[in-house]
């Protein structure tokens, strides 16, 4: 029994002494002292006035800590561009140091906070503030924060024409310091961007990497030069109508220069790999991407709200964007290529076009009275029915260059079972209007039609007009007329040369 009493005393005495030590420390450090220190530190770190509007309380269990509620940094109603509100701030004590009689805070937890940064014209940067009074410096040594966790946060960045909102913001850091020593951290948030009040971008943002901070890290200069190195992941990225399932990139951000290399995108059931480089000194953004096996049907439908094409899409993109005085699309230049294999044109019925052209040519040779009849609109290449239906193709390929707001294709190829198109053209990226010239080589399976095609040099010259949504294909009469004029049809044909000439012109108009 005596041994049991000694054992109980051996356990109770250290516990009693620990409680006495903690009680002494708690009573020696008054809440007003903590308030004064926190207010001074907030002012020193942010150049903004800080105020604790709530309470300061001690908690011993489940671990020693100080809880501060309702902290206000800056005033969102003033001309200052920076304001922060914190719902709950927890400072956890280092237990081993506490038992030795030392008060050392090792962790900082923030639950619920809002940061508002207003970069609109008229907002001013606050003047630099003096450091806290010297009597606070010894206490600063006791705040050796190593671990930081911020959760349930919200960051709002407002500019003249746009607003960026980080919601559900979580930030965690280990080995935290303000001595420019690298430490690891993680960031997770939901991001939305609006322009002129309209939704522009949304994504789930994840970053895991390293950074370095100074005591003035919240200033504009320090934020712009803040170094970041790590892995960036964006999930469910939407840029207007464009959708990206997943974006991953090795990230380097130093002195304002951003590099994402490699930059991998998972989108439209395919994958794209490349890199991104942004230099603020030159205000230029460089993007290189090579994509394979994309679902062109869904991609084009999202971009243009129309079903125009079906098939597996490959493309390359090498572009440069001038952000100094950005204007769409004049500020974009680049080049690349696009390939679709074994696909379907969903806005053109080439087979019907060939069949009706076949029938029209046959009528010229078999019906003598047709020589004096003008072609009806539905019997020409402008027949709207030709642009309603599907056409399977083996290959569609194009090499393009973007310059001065125009997408120029100097090599375009389309191959179907009965048609081969070759040529070039351009798309105005502002209104998506088309302008181009093509040569169509058609397998008519008709001797008379084949003869006409041979008279035109083995291929029919065509003009492309209209828009990308509603294309229009017309015969190039400036090229066709001279060819027909210089060619005569032999006497074995049932119609005179002049009549055939006139009917061909009427048919192709």
From first to last of the 509 residues of the chain, give the pLDDT tens digit. Answer: 566 555 555 555 555 555 555 555 555 566 677 777 677 766 766 667 778 888 888 776 667 778 889 988 877 666 667 788 999 988 887 766 555 555 567 788 999 999 988 877 555 555 444 444 444 444 445 556 788 999 999 999 998 888 999 999 999 999 888 788 899 999 999 999 998 889 999 999 999 999 998 776 666 666 677 899 999 999 999 998 999 999 999 999 998 899 999 999 999 999 999 999 999 888 899 999 999 999 999 999 998 888 888 999 999 999 999 988 888 889 999 999 999 999 998 877 777 777 777 676 666 555 544 444 444 433 455 666 666 778 899 999 999 999 999 999 989 999 998 889 999 999 999 998 999 999 989 888 778 778 878 887 888 888 888 888 777 877 887 887 776 665 544 433 444 444 445 554 554 45
Taking the C-alpha atoms of residue 503 and residue 280, their distance in angstroms, rounded to an integer, is: 63
Contact criterion met (CB below 8 Å) for 301 and 326 = no
Give start and end residues of each alpha helix (H) in 64-154. Answer: 95-99, 137-140
The single residue listed with the structure tokens 């994309």 is 294
CA distances from 69 to 10, 59, 85, 87 (A): 39, 13, 10, 6
Q: Which residues contact 182 (CB under 8 A, 6 or more apart)?
A: 210, 211, 212
Contact criterion met (CB below 8 Å) for 419 and 439 = no
Taking the C-alpha atoms of residue 509 and residue 500, their distance in angstroms, rounded to an integer, is: 14
Residue 287 pairs in a beta bridge with 276, 319
Taking the C-alpha atoms of residue 465 and residue 235, their distance in angstroms, rounded to an integer, is: 39
Burial class (CB in 10 A: 0-12, 13-18, 19+), 464: buried
Long-range contact set of residues 499-506: C-beta below 8 Å, sequence gap at least 24: 499/364, 499/371, 499/372, 500/364, 500/365, 500/371, 502/371, 503/364, 503/370, 503/371, 503/373, 503/375, 504/364, 504/452, 504/480, 505/477, 505/480, 505/481, 506/374, 506/375
Taking the C-alpha atoms of residue 248 and residue 316, their distance in angstroms, rounded to an integer, is: 18
Contact criterion met (CB below 8 Å) for 84 and 74 = yes
| Tokens encoding 420 | 């081969």
Phi first, then psi, for residue 223 (nearest 5°) are: -65, -40
> Which three-class secondary structure state does DSSP give residue 59?
strand
DSSP single-letter state for residue 315: E
| Tokens encoding 133 | 């009074």
Taking the C-alpha atoms of residue 404 and residue 329, their distance in angstroms, rounded to an integer, is: 7
136-169 burial by CB neighbour count: b if 16+ within 10 A, else e?
Answer: beebeeeeebbebbbbebbbbbeeeebbbbbeeb
Where residue 437 falls (left for φ over 0; alpha for ψ -120 to 50; beta otherwise) is beta
Burial class (CB in 10 A: 0-12, 13-18, 19+), 21: middle
Phi first, then psi, for residue 271 (nearest 5°) are: -140, 145
Question: Which pLDDT belongs to residue 466?
Answer: 87
- Per-domain residue ranges of the chain: 20-125+141-240, 343-508
Rg (CA), the chain: 36
Question: Which pLDDT belongs to residue 369?
Answer: 46
* Total residue count of the chain as it appears in this document: 509
Taking the C-alpha atoms of residue 104 and residue 145, their distance in angstroms, rounded to an integer, is: 8
| Tokens encoding 177 | 């310091």
The single residue listed with the structure tokens 């930081």 is 148
Q: Is the peptide bond before 262 cis (omega within 30 degrees of 0)?
A: yes
Taking the C-alpha atoms of residue 473 and residue 381, their distance in angstroms, rounded to an integer, is: 7
Taking the C-alpha atoms of residue 81 and residue 85, their distance in angstroms, rounded to an integer, is: 14
Question: Which pLDDT belongs to residue 151?
Answer: 96
The helix (run of H) or strand (run of E) holding residue 210 is strand 198-211
Question: What sign for the dihedral angle of Cα 453, 459, 461, 467?
Answer: positive
| Tokens encoding 209 | 């990497």
Question: Which pLDDT belongs to residue 427?
Answer: 93
Contact criterion met (CB below 8 Å) for 452 and 484 = no
């Amino acid at each position: 029994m005596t041994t049991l009493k000694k054992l109980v005393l051996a356990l109770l005495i250290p516990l009693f002494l620990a409680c006495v030590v903690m009680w002494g420390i708690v009573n020696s450090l008054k809440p007003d002292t903590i308030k004064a220190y926190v207010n001074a530190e907030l002012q020193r770190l942010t150049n903004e006035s800080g105020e604790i509007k709530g309470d300061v309380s001690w908690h011993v269990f489940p671990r020693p800590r100080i809880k501060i509620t309702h902290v206000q940094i800056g005033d969102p109603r003033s001309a200052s561009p920076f304001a922060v509100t914190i719902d709950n701030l927890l400072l956890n004590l280092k237990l081993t140091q506490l038992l030795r009689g030392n008060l050392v805070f090792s962790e900082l937890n923030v639950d619920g906070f809002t940061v508002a940064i207003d970069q609109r014209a008229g907002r001013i940067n606050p003047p630099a503030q003096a450091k806290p009074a010297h009597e606070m410096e010894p206490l600063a040594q006791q705040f050796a924060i190593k671990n930081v966790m911020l959760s349930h946060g919200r960051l709002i960045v407002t500019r003249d024409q746009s607003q960026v909102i980080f919601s559900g913001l979580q930030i965690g850091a280990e080995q935290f310091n303000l001595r420019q020593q690298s430490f690891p951290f993680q960031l997770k948030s939901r991001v939305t961007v609006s322009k002129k009040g309209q939704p522009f971008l949304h994504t789930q943002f994840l970053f895991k990497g390293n950074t370095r901070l100074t005591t003035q890290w919240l200033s504009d200069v320090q934020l712009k030069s803040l170094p970041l190195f790590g892995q960036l992941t964006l999930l469910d990225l939407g840029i207007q109508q464009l959708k990206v399932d997943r974006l991953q990139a090795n990230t380097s951000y130093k002195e304002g220069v951003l590099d994402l290399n490699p930059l991998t995108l998972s989108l439209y059931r395919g994958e794209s790999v490349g890199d991104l480089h942004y230099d603020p000194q030159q205000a230029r953004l460089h993007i290189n991407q090579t994509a394979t096996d994309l679902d062109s049907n869904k991609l084009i439908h999202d971009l243009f709200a129309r079903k125009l094409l079906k098939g597996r899409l490959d493309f390359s993109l090498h572009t440069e964007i001038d952000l100094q005085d950005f204007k769409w699309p004049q500020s974009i230049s680049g080049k690349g290529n696009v390939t679709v294999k074994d696909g379907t044109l969903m806005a053109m019925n080439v087979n019907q076009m060939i069949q009706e052209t076949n029938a029209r040519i046959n009528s010229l040779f078999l019906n003598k009275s047709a020589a004096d009849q003008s072609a009806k609109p539905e019997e020409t290449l402008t027949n709207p029915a030709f642009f309603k239906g599907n056409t399977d193709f083996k290959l569609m390929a194009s090499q393009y260059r973007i310059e001065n707001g125009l997408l120029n294709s100097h090599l375009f190829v389309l191959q179907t079972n009965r048609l081969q198109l070759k040529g070039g053209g351009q798309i105005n990226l502002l209104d998506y209007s088309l302008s181009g010239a093509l040569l169509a080589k058609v397998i008519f399976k008709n001797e008379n039609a084949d003869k006409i095609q041979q008279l035109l040099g083995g291929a029919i010259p065509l003009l492309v007009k209209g828009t990308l949504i509603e294309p229009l294909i017309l015969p190039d009469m400036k090229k066709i007329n001279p060819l027909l004029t210089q060619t005569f049809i032999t006497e074995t044909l049932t119609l005179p040369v002049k009549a055939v000439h006139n009917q061909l012109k009427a048919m192709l108009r």
